[in-house]
Structures are given as C-alpha cells and as structure tokens.
Chain A
Amino acid sequence: MIFTEADMGAIYLTLRLATTVTLLLLLIGTPIAWWLARTKSWWKGPVGAIVALPLVLPPTVLGFYLLLAMGPNGVIGQFTQSLGLGTLPFTFWGLVIGSIFYSMPFVVQPIQNAIEAIGERPLEAAATLRAGPWDTFFTVVLPLAKPGFITAAILGFAHTVGEFGVVLMIGGNIPGETRVVSVQIYDHVEALEYAQAHALAAGMVVFSFIVLLGLYGFQRKQASLGMKYGG
C-alpha cells in the first residue's frame, strides 16, 4: 500500500469537502448565474467582478479575510456564535465556506454562459405556452443549459480538490477535519517524506488530468451534437 492511513484520511476528507462544496455551489451559484445572465441592472458589473475575484486574488488574501470574518469578532463568527455553533475557523464547515467563495467563479461562469447562450426566445416561447417561471426553468433552461451545469460541477469539484492557500489560512492542519490532500503533501515535504509526497502528488496529477480529459471530451461531444454549452 503506497498510501498511509493518514493519506487515506486526507483523500477521503478532500472528496467529502469537494462533493459538499460542489453541491452547495450548484444551489447557490445557479441563481447568481441566472441573475448575471439575464439582468440589465447596473449591478451586473460589480457583482460579476466580485464573483470573479478569486480568479485573480492570492488565496491567502481570501483566506485572511475569511479568517477575520469567521473569527469570534467577525460578522460570520458573531452569527454562528449566536446560533450556538461556535466559530468556524479550523473546522470542516469553515473549509466548506472558504471553498465556496474560492470555487464560485468556476461554477457560476459556465452556468452563466450556458444561460446566456439559450437567449430570450425559448423562454418567451415557454411563457406563451403557459409555462410559469419555475416550470420554464426545469423544462427549458435546465435541459438546454445541462452541458453548462455539468462543466460547472466538474470544474467546481476539481478546483476545490486542488485548493491549498485558503485551507491553510482558515483550516490549518487538523487530521480528519481540515487536513486535505494538498496540505498532507505539504506536511510530507516538510518532514522530508518525499516518497509519500510523490505518491499523493502524482495521484493528484493523474486525477486532474483525467478530469480535464473527460471534460474536454464531453465538451467536444456536445459541440458535435450542435448543442450550445457554457464554460
């Protein structure tokens, strides 16, 4: 067995984190993407920019501010304490929140592009066929934007698996709670356990390659079907 028990724990934790974050992001990101795709409001620019910020900011910056916000005196911290949940830094759910911000653009943008590509016409056609807004969303928007949602889910998942800086800032290094694969690799290197670091690092390379290969294959297939897609 090339992976130690601690490695396996880190892998399991990483997958659990990425799955949780992806599901939550699809729920949160879809309305944001919908709004960004359809609004004519002045706020589209600023909101779009905020969503895209993690693309350019060092993860440490994001992690630093989240750490402050989730701390005992921060806005989020005050709120979670008032609910009797304590504070979130150095917990699994703290990581989830950090990752949601960090991976947001990778989920929102493909969905937004897919919804924009649908255009007004199918939505108007649905309205003239007595479909209300929710009905239209589930019967027209979701099927037509499906490739965008799949791209979003894959990118959101893969990007969360690959995060490091934010985790280190707000999660630290607690086995089974916040020690994800990228942190575990860091620990191995610090401890000069290069063989262990290699095993995990190479695993990440293979995982990422397969995910992207699958994504591009999927997108090419969609393109050849003549369907519009985002991402």
Chain B
Amino acid sequence: MTNTLTNALTDNTIAASFRLAYPGDKADGFSLDVDVTVPGNGITAIFGHSGSGKTTFLRCVAGLETADSGELTVKGDIWQSASHCKPTHKRPLGYVFQESSLFPHLTAKANLDYAIKRSGVPFSQDLYERVLSVMAIAPVLPRYPAQLSGGERQRVAIARALLIQPKLLLMDEPLASLDSARKQEILPYLERLRASFDIPIFYVSHSMDEVAHLADHILVLEQGKLVAQGNLTEVLSRIDLPLKFGEETGVIITGEVAERDNQWHLVRIAFDGGELWVRDGGDALKQSVRVRVLARDVSLALASHDDTSIVNRLAVEVVEISQDQDEAMALVRLKCGAEYFIARLTQKSVHQLQLEPGKHAWAQIKSVAVVR
C-alpha cells in the first residue's frame, strides 16, 4: 500500500494492487501495474484514454480478469490475496457493462429477479421500489431486452446491479454505447443513483464531462500506470500531470447558490475566494452546486476592464505555468482564494503579459457550466 489517500488503512477503504502483463499480445503488448487505496464511499472515476488499462483494472477488481499478482481488500473483506482469489460469483459486487448485458431470454422483470434471487441478502420491497423509481423503469418491466431502447436497457442493467445489493458497484463506461442525446438522458439517473444509494462506485470513463458530473475521487491511468489520484477538484486543478486533458482541461469549483437575479435569469454562486454568475438552472438558494470552468474559457488581463461582455472577472494570482500538449499553448494555474483555475493561453500571450508565478492578474471567464 504505497499510495494512500487516507491516513490509515481503515475499514472504510478499498485497497487494490494489480500487476498483469499480456506479453506481445498486441503490437507492443500491454501491462497493468497499479497499487492504490481509495475511500470506500462516493464515486471514484477511473479515467484514462483508450488503452490506458482502466477497463482491465475494473475487470481485475471484479475478478473477471485474473492478475498475475494482485491484492484486493474492500472495506475489510479480502477479495484477493497472494494465496487466494475469490471467483467473481463470490464477490459481493455489482457490475454494469459498457453495452447491454441483460439476458436476452428473460424479460426486464425476470432480469431483475435473477439478481434478487441471488443477492444473498433478504429482499427488501422498499429497496425494490426505490430502485424502480430512481431508474424509472417500472413501465418497461414486462418487455424483453430486444424491445427496449439502448438507454432503457442500461437503466435496467443498472437497476439489476443495484438489486444484488452490492458492497461495491463497478461501472464500465455505462454510457459509451449510447449517442450523446441518450447520454444526457441517462446522466441524471446516475446523479440520482449517487444521491439515493450509499454504495461506493468505481466508474470507468474516458469522458471528462461525465467525470466532472459524477465523480468525487479520480484515478488517472496511462499505459497501465497510475499517474494521478485523489480528490477530483484537486487532481483537475493540477497542470503538472503527464497526461493532458486537451480541450477538456478545466477545474471544478464547489460553491453555494447565494443570490438569484430574476431579471437576467442568473444565479450568483459564492465559493471560498470569490463568486461566479451563472445561468439560472433552477437550483434552490443555499444549495451546494458544482461548476466546471474549462481552461479554454479563461483569459487573463493585467487590469480590470468593465467594457467587456465577460460577466465573470476574478482577481487571481499566477501560481504555475506549464507547457500544454500543443507547443503553441501554455497552461497557467491561477489561485483565487482557496480555489484554483486554469487558463489555457498561447505561449505568445504568456510572454507578452510577462506572466510568472506570483504575478497578479484578472481572470476573465467566458463560460461556466453547472455540472451538479
């Protein structure tokens, strides 16, 4: 356990260490070498580009893939040790696959019953009704999977994974097989899932948008190695990672709805160090919200300008400057109170404004999205 997010290994953590290699299976082979401890609550995003090993990692956790050497302890239960490896069907987990994994010969209802019968936990009518209502699948229960839309199928699959009453829910890009309209349709269900059920979730994704909406923690994998891990806000505000997020580079700020401007349909979100005006999404006053600010939407000026269309201007201090993937671009990390922003600027602008750590500037934020 070299990497620990928490101070000590307590009962409420998930510790995983996997090493496996497929020598020469593909052109250059693939290996996974990850050793990590994550909190046993909330959603942990396992993020990486394709081929980074994120799905393999998840399959190792499920026991669907057997690592050459591996150890896995989930909230005090040993699922895998050097000497023993529990088979998948003996691990109290739920798994949502990328594409539909519903049994085609059973109706949606019978698919759910399949899980209920085998959960090993007494059936709870209350849980059943909650799952049906959160996933909104009651009307489609009599149908066969072939008669369901892609989105409905994934919702039934998620419900099935919940009804097994898992100690850990594993989701392998559950939205990847859906088109973007369907993704937007399912995301709210996942948010409700997160809010309604107290189950730790490992969520594999290559979409920073999904991660920004859902995750509390993040593991970033690249070529089978862990390159960053920790609290989502913290990891996303770093610009020193070897893995670049490209156009998706951006930070997450958590704040509270402080004021509603009914005339202009805006709400003011106050955070530790400043405030942001965003479009009114109907969130109640005092409600905690999460907003995402993309680096490409942040520009810098050395003086405050009032004669601009940009609503959000924040006094910031330059903390760090690093090269982006594209050699014309730089990433500038900015501190505003307790929060950080990242600006994606041309190297030329960095030079002309003579930006350097410690310098004060005004960040102009063109767009802010409320993600939760």
A contacts, CB < 8 Å to B: 121-122, 124-133, 135-136, 139-140, 143-144, 226-227
Contact = CB atoms under 8 A, between A and B. Distances in A.
Given A121-B97, A124-B64, A125-B97, A130 B103 contact: no
A144 B144 CA distance: 14
A128 B103 contact: no
Contacts of A132: 89
B87 interface: yes
Contact of B115 (A129, A135, A226, A227): A129
Given A139-B114, A226-B146, A127 B88 contact: yes
A144 B164 contact: no
Contacts of B88: 124, 127-128
Contact of B64 (A122, A127, A144): A127
Nearest to B96: A128
B56 to A, nearest CB: 14
A217 B93 CA distance: 43
Contacts of B115: 129
Nearest to B114: A129
Contacts of B102: 125
A128 B103 CA distance: 13
B48 interface: no
A227 B145 CA distance: 12
Contacts of A227: 104-105
A143 B97 contact: no
B104 A144 contact: yes
> Size range of the interface on B?
20 to 34
Contacts of A122: 101, 103-104
Most buried by B among A125, A129, A133, A143: A129
Main secondary structure of the interface of A (DSSP, over half): helix
B94 A131 contact: no
Given A124-B88, A129-B114, A130-B164, A140 B95 contact: no
Nearest to B163: A129
Given A128-B64, A128-B94, 11 more contacts: A124-B64, A127-B63, A127-B88, A129-B115, A129-B160, A129-B164, A130-B164, A131-B118, A139-B114, A140-B103, A227-B104
Contacts of B119: 130
Interface string B56-78: 00000011100000000000000
Nearest to B88: A127
A39 to B, nearest CB: 16
B95 A143 contact: no
A130 B95 CA distance: 11
A135 B117 CA distance: 12
Given A122-B101, A143-B105, A226-B146, A128 B93 contact: yes
30 contacts: A121-B97, A121-B99, A122-B101, A122-B103, A124-B88, A124-B97, A124-B101, A125-B95, A125-B103, A126-B89, A127-B87, A127-B88, A127-B89, A128-B88, A128-B93, A128-B164, A128-B170, A129-B118, A129-B160, A129-B164, A130-B90, A130-B119, A130-B120, A131-B89, A131-B118, A132-B89, A133-B89, A143-B105, A144-B105, A226-B146
Interface in B102-139: 102-105, 114-115, 118-120
Pairs of residues from A and B, 4 with the lowest C-beta to C-beta distance, nearest first = A128-B95, A127-B88, A125-B101, A130-B118
Given A127-B88, A128-B88, A121 B118 contact: no
A130 B64 contact: no
